[in-house]
Amino acid sequence: MDGDDVDMAAVETAEAVPELDDMKKRLKEMEDEAAALREMQAKVEKEMGSVQDPSASATASQGNKEEVDSRSVFVGNVDYACTPEEVQQHFQACGTVNRVTIRSDKYGQPKGYAYVEFVEPEAVQDALLLNESELHGRQLKVTAKRTNVPGMKQFRARRPSPYMGFPPRAAIMPPYLFSPYGYGKVMRYRMPMRYSPYG
């Protein structure tokens, strides 16, 4: 009996060895392919000049954003028919305008506000003096642009939506009903309830 067990184990190992060798061979091929891909990726990054760690680039982009925002103003109550060229002409007296951005919704309609970026930061103070000036018959609101800090979203309490439904209410037992004439049976009105406190 013991001899049979040993022979069966030897047969199973003899069959498993070629499979194991095939698996090792495929694993070696995949490792070689992954190394070649890593080498090609490093070569492409080196050619593109973008070999930086992500945290350093995120910090640099945040610093760049703050610098651009320090040279920009927010312009509210902009007429919907106003073009970026007209906004640029309005703020040209303050300094050299680098870019005018009029925000629009997903349908391409203007939202009624714009951002004006200047070349020099000193122009922002002159642009703030144009607050409450008129363009296309509308009084503009000009303020310094603020920098959005990632992860610091302003809290706004959410109102319950009438479309989301209402939370289930506790079942209310109706009162006992008596006969209006003072005689007869005492009736108890029972409504079919979905949520019952009794199970």
Per residue in 141-166, pLDDT (tens digit) is 999 998 876 666 666 656 666 666 65
Please state, for a pLDDT cut of 70, what percent of the chain lies above it.
60
Could you report the per-residue pLDDT of 70-121, keeping only the tens digit for each?
Answer: 999 999 999 999 999 999 999 999 999 999 999 999 999 999 999 999 999 9
Secondary structure letter of residue 131 according to DSSP: T
CA-closest candidate to residue 70, choices 117, 139, 25, 30: 117
pLDDT at 195 exceeding the cut of 70? no
Tokens of 74: 């927010």
Q: Which of 11-20, 90-99, 156-165, 169-178 has the highest mean pLDDT?
A: 90-99
pLDDT at 47 exceeding the cut of 90? no
pTM exceeds 0.75, yes or no:
no
Tokens of 192: 């079919």
Residues 190, 175 contacting (CB under 8 angstroms): no
Please state, in angstroms and rounded to a whole number, the distance separating the CA atoms of residues 86 and 18.
78
Please state, in angstroms and rounded to a whole number, the distance separating the CA atoms of residues 126 and 195.
66
